[in-house]
Amino acid sequence: MSNRGGAKEIQFYVGEKAGAVSGLLLKPEGSQALLLLAHGAGAGMRHHFMEDTAAKLAARGVATLRYQFPYMEKRTKRPDSEAVLTDTVRAAVTAAKKQAGDLPLFAGGKSMGGRMTSLAAVKEPLDNVRGLIFFGFPLHAVGRLGAERGRHLTEIKIPMLFLQGSRDALADLKLLKPLCKQVGKSAELFVVDGGDHSFHMLKSADKSDEEVLDSLCAEAVEWMRQNS
């Protein structure tokens, strides 16, 4: 079954309580890598950010597998427990391996999806995954500054790319930058000047949201190439 942009719909099993969830595989001819892309807390795999990111990555030769967390599959608003979310990440990695073939495999996602991917990687290394990419890592709640949500990142042994907006209310750069330095050489930070948590730009900015997403995807593709 195909969806918008030529993506193929798949399903994979998470566990007895969670059941099966859906995924969208977009794999252009001549793909050079596959990125497993998890959605944020408030929007699923068909959100325009997810759709547009997958399309722009495909245009640059990177396949994507977007997928739903169980609560989003069931159309409920409250996210699943951390255990269920990280189990879903791990099940998605297994599904992605079947689709990737010989392609280098990377994982990550938007906001909560990226954070859950990192937590899954801490619990147990993600099989065959060469690096993690975060589109807006949620380091803290709005107005509640702190870096506790990112302490586990120092335990991850594979490369990580942080794509962040300078106006991100969920990741103050004064906290994120020192954390990345603490992680060490395995962490790379790319900052979009003027971007918020969703990489929206102010009307006065000299770049459009689409141009910013282009730059994010270009950065991600080059980073994957270097870490393949």
Position 103 scores a pLDDT of 97
Whether the pTM exceeds 0.85: the reply is yes
User: How is residue 34 written in tokens?
Assistant: 């596959």
Domain covering 4-226 in this structure, CATH number:
3.40.50.1820
Angle at 159 between CA 153 and CA 165, to 5 degrees: 70
Please give the distance of CA 127 from its chain centroid, rounded to a whole number: 17
Query: How is the chain split into domains, by residue range?
Result: 4-226
Map residue 214 onto helix, strand or coil.
helix
CB distance 165 to 190 below 8 Å: no
Task: For residue range 101-123, list pLDDT tens digits in order.
Answer: 999 999 999 999 999 999 999 99
Neighbours of 211 (CB within 10 A): 12
24, 79, 81: which is closest to 47 by C-alpha? 24
Task: For residue range 167-222, list pLDDT tens digits in order.
Answer: 999 999 999 999 999 999 999 999 999 999 999 999 888 889 999 999 999 999 99
Task: For residue range 152-162, list pLDDT tens digits in order.
Answer: 999 999 999 99
